[in-house]
Amino acid sequence: MRTLKFARPVLMATVMSFALLSGKAMAADPAMPYTPAAADWSGWYVGVHAGGAWGDIDFNATPYGGPFWSQSVSGFGGGVLGGYNWQADRFVFGAEVDATWFGVDSTLNLAGVGFPGVNVTAEYDALYTARGRLGIAYDRWMPYVSAGIGLLQMSASANAAPAFKTDHIGFVGGVGLEMLAFGDRATVRVEWLHGEFSYETAGPFADPDPSLDIIRAALTYRFGSRM
């Protein structure tokens, strides 16, 4: 069973990035007075998002007399999100949930692993995440990191056989940059998310072990925000 081998370096990279941002925010010139963040990021929000997505799947069919192979998938995804922010001085703490539906797939012939008559189609169907966010407000701009759990739903089939579907739990984390817009009624953001998910038994064909990356843009509407 493959562990979430990329979760630790991804988490370390996001923490280090945030530490650098935090150091810049706190290292003020002693001769200059400290000015708190002017914009208010607190409150509830909902929004939509869309972007590109890609991933790799390790398939293990050896328990069923087949081969082991890796397959890459790519495409697009979009969906909805919602959450809440709470601000303390420059620091913004948040919780967010989102749902993404994909058009992310590929078809691979297994001639390279000794099965030339087999074509495997793999597809990511949907991703649902619940993540915490931590950002530093620079007035109307906020860089942030996020981390949490995700549920990835995928399907795969060989030749004309019916597809089998599997659900995978795993770690999802990333970084982003968000900006207040439209008189503070909304925000726009760009973000990168990476997910490493659980190995699942899905015989009698092959057991998948997927990973996922997303780069996307989002537009949110803020409730109770200032004009």
213: alpha, beta or left? (left if phi > 0; alpha if psi -120 to 50): beta
Domain count, the chain: 1
CA 178 to chain centre: 16
49 or 227, higher pLDDT = 49
Residue 135's domain spans which residues? 7-23+44-98+113-222
Q: Average pLDDT in the 82-94 region?
A: 96
Phi, psi of 11 (to 5 degrees): -65, -40
Which residue shows structure tokens 């749902």? 99
* 51 within 8 A of 217, measured Cβ to Cβ: yes
Do the domain assignments include residue 143? yes
pLDDT tens digits, one per residue of 93-144: 999 999 999 999 999 999 999 889 899 999 999 999 999 999 999 999 999 9
> Residue 219: CA atoms inside 13 Å, Cβ hemisphere, count?
4
pLDDT tens digits, one per residue of 42-67: 999 999 999 999 999 999 998 888 88
Do the domain assignments include residue 203? yes
To 5 degrees, how large is the angle CA 144–CA 49–CA 19?
A: 10
Do the domain assignments include residue 38? no
CA distance 75 to 105: 7
Q: Average pLDDT in the 154-181 region?
A: 94
CATH of residue 125: 2.40.160.20
Taking every pair of Cα atoms in the chain, the longest distance, rounded to a whole number of angstroms, is 74
CA distance 98 to 35: 34
Which residue shows structure tokens 């607190």? 42
Give the DSSP per-residue string, 53-99.
Answer: EEEEEEEE-GGGT--EEEEEEEEEEEEEEEEEEEEETTEEEEEEEEE
Do the domain assignments include residue 107? no
Do the domain assignments include residue 160? yes
201: CB partners within 8 A, 6+ apart: 207
Tell me the whole-structure pTM to 2 decimals. 0.82
Do the domain assignments include residue 105? no
Other CB atoms within 10 Å distance of the CB of residue 64: 11
- What tokens appear for 119 in the block? 């074509």
